[in-house]
Amino acid sequence: MIRTPLRPLARILSARARGENPEAIERENLRLRHEAMRDRARAMAEGRLVFLALAFFMVFGVIGARMGLMAATVPEEPKSAAPGAEILAQRADITDRNGRILATNMMTHALYAQTNDMVDPARVARELVKIFPEMNAEDLQRRFTDGRSFMWLRKVLSPEQMQKVHEIGDPGLLFGPREMRLYPNGTLAAHVLGGASFGAEGVSSAEVIGTAGIEKALDARLRDPAQAGQPLELSLDLTVQATVEEILDAGMKMMNAKGAAAILMEAHTGEIVALASLPNFDPNNRPSPLVQGDPSDSPLFNRAVQGVYELGSTFKIFAVSQALELGLVSPDTIIDAKTPLVSGRFRIKEFQNHNYGMIPVWDVIAKSSNVGTARIALQVGGLRQQAFLKSLGFFEPTHVELIEAPGAKPLVQKRWSDIVTITTSYGHGLSASPMHLAAAYGAIANDGVTVQPTLIHSDSHPVGTRVISDRVARQVLDMLRGVVTHGTASYAEVPGYDVAGKTGTADKARRDGKGYYKDKVVNTFASIFPADDPKYVLVVTMDEPVDTSGPIPRRTAGYTTVPIAAEIIRRTAPLLGLPPRAVPPGGEKIDTANLE
């Protein structure tokens, strides 16, 4: 660049000659130079701004165009990034603890009609009725021709039916792929599994949603695509469950009962190995619920979880446990069990008007004395009794993973007077489900620490709270063992397995609330085995059983549920891997002296 001098000699000299100040020339030149510099800087800055604006415009333009493109186009799965596992977005399987399938999915097809494409609606209607007898030809033809363009015909088809529909050969009949929930074991564990049905339906797919049981309770987990590959592993054991159901069914028929339920639970983890409720149903073809009458008449009713009954004498052990824990009595303390015990206007008597007199605490349990238990409960007091039963979970629904569980809230008296303390101590006036009872007996079997019944097989379980000391738990177990060796549950003696348990016979409350039925009972047997090292808790309940094998009909638990429970233990214990204790030849003698 050629630099213009600030003081050009020619101009200075001529200015001097004219007598002007040469400084003015210099200043003038300096001004011009500064102006030129300023113009250059401005042009450069403007250029930069324009460039920046252009760059921003291009970047935002690209982003905007991309957004517009994404918004305007149909979504499409990236072809290259689809790993094989997630191709079938299906509902997760349900298996038992050994991985045997309890619920899985099957591809099938739904049948729908597009009437616009239909060639001969009359013939199609006739042919369809031949394949599906439940359809009506006139009705179908009317619906094919009344102007609608689309209609569903069937939700699922078997392959044979699909082939036959193909053979009709009408272009208006179309198939949509469907994923169907299948329960290969039929009625087995029906009340646990519940059932599933279709939710929102489209032509190319339909969502499968759980309608009851664990299918509904854990619907979100089962539908989670991230966990679709991992089956939901239940704590049930298929073989044990089948055995329990078989024996319970035979027992229910033998004892002429209306219904029966059994819960077999691991004592230390709370995992439920078998949960049966009879009568049952086929979850593949779930019956519709009753709209009127007693819900417990429906096979859908889960007696083990929903059936809230007064559980009778099985409760006596809780009063005694608490008294032992509080140090009020020892197993050998003599209790006044003379009848009747009068409290206000109530007179408490024994079963069949027995009078046991002065008996030790262990015999109160073995003989199942109402009066003895009531006296112990009165020593404990209503407030403490309430708190203890609350800690065992008798005041709130169980947390087992079934949709029916939260609805089964125990029925508890609002005012806890002395008479409530007395009746609750022997299991009347407080209604709870067999699941509650299993959880409470689980606490005794688990050395006095509560357990949470669960249907999910897992390695870790929440640690419960201690309700009684392990010493008291041991004493209580010995007393429960006494009930079997020389008490009301002598039929529970299983050769090789020391069973401890307590019977309970409660009169059934009338549905209209006017007292109790004379000849309708709910029999319960809550047991723990093996008694010396408790591993399992078994609760068997029967609704309105009666043993008619003898000359007079017998309705006490000792004759109805106890033999059934004993048979369940005898058959399932080997399946559970419990080796029997060596039995002396000739077996053990059964004492039938005190069977009430």
φ, ψ of residue 441 to 5 degrees: the values are -65, -30
Shortest separation between residue 405's beta carbon and another protein, angstroms: 26
Q: Which stretch binds another protein (CB under 8 A): 82-90, 150-158, 293-301, 520-528?
A: 82-90
Per the listing, tokens 């209306």 go with: 258
Q: Hey, which residues between 480 and 519 contact another protein (CB under 8 A)?
A: 494-497
Judged by CB, which is closer to another protein: 552, or 582? 582
Give the position of tokens 């009458």. 293
Strands (E) in 183-325, as ranges, are: 195-201, 206-212, 232-233, 259-266, 272-278, 309-310
**Nearest residue (CB) to another protein, 86 versus 336:** 86
- The CB-of-497 to another protein minimum distance in angstroms stands at 7
Q: Least distance from C-beta 494 to another protein, angstroms?
A: 8
For another protein, which stretch binds (CB under 8 A), given 207-215, 219-227, 238-246, 362-370? 238-246
Residues 365-424 that bind another protein (CB under 8 A): none
Residues 6+ apart with CB under 8 A from 254: none
Q: What is the largest CA-CA distance in the chain?
A: 158
Least distance (Å) from another protein to the CB of residue 575? Answer: 6
Question: For another protein, how many residues bind (rule: CB under 8 A)?
Answer: 35
First to last CA, the chain: 124
User: 3-class SS at 188?
Assistant: coil
* Least distance from another protein to the Cβ atom of residue 441, Å: 22
Selected binder of another protein within 24, 43, 107, 383 (CB under 8 A): 107
Residue from 19, 75, 84, 202 in contact with another protein (CB under 8 A): 84
Enter the tokens of residue 466. 């201690």
CB of 43 vs another protein, minimal distance in Å:
34
Q: Which region, judged by CB under 8 A, interacts with another protein, from 22-30, 237-245, 294-302, 332-340?
A: 237-245
In the set 26, 246, 249, 418, which binds another protein (CB under 8 A)? 246
Cα-Cα-Cα-Cα torsion 191, 193, 195, 198, nearest 10 degrees, comes to 160
Binding region for another protein (CB under 8 A) out of 103-111, 214-222, 367-375, 411-419: 103-111
Among 239, 298, 333, 594, indicate the residue that binds another protein (CB under 8 A).
239
SS (H, E, C) 50-110: HHHHHHHHHHHHHHHHHHHHHHHCCCCCCCCCCCHHHCCCCCCCEECCCCCEEEEEEEEEE
Give the nearer residue to another protein in terms of CB position, either 305 or 566: 566
* Shortest distance (Å) from residue 76 CB to another protein: 12
Please give the residues from 188 up to 227 whose contact with another protein meets the rule CB under 8 A: 188
- Asked if residue 530 has a cis previous peptide bond (ω within 30° of 0), the answer is yes
DSSP codes, 458-524: -S------B-S-HHHHHHHHHHHHHHHHHSTTGGG-BTTB--EEEEEEEEEEPTTSSSEEEEEEEEE
* Distance between CA atoms of residues 150 and 133, nearest Å: 22
As measured in angstroms, the least distance from the Cβ of 443 to another protein is 27
State which residue, 12 or 182, has the beta carbon closest to another protein.
182
- Is-contact 515 398, C-beta < 8 A? no
CA distance 308 to 302: 10
238 binds another protein (CB under 8 A): yes
**Residue 229 CA from chain centroid, whole number:** 20
The interface mask with another protein, positions 151-190, x = CB under 8 A, is -------------------------------x-xxx-x--
Residues 555-594 that bind another protein (CB under 8 A): 570-571, 573-575, 579-580, 582
CB-based contact 311:522 (threshold 8 Å): yes
Of 33, 528, 565, 47, the closest CA to residue 261 belongs to 565
| Smallest distance, another protein to C-beta of residue 78, A | 10
Which of 141, 235, 243, 556 is the binder for another protein (CB under 8 A)? 243
Question: Reduced to 3 states, what is the DSSP secondary structure of residue 563?
Answer: helix
Query: Applying CB under 8 A, which residues contact another protein?
Result: 79-80, 82, 84, 87-88, 90, 100-101, 104-107, 182, 184-186, 188, 238-239, 242-243, 246, 494-497, 570-571, 573-575, 579-580, 582
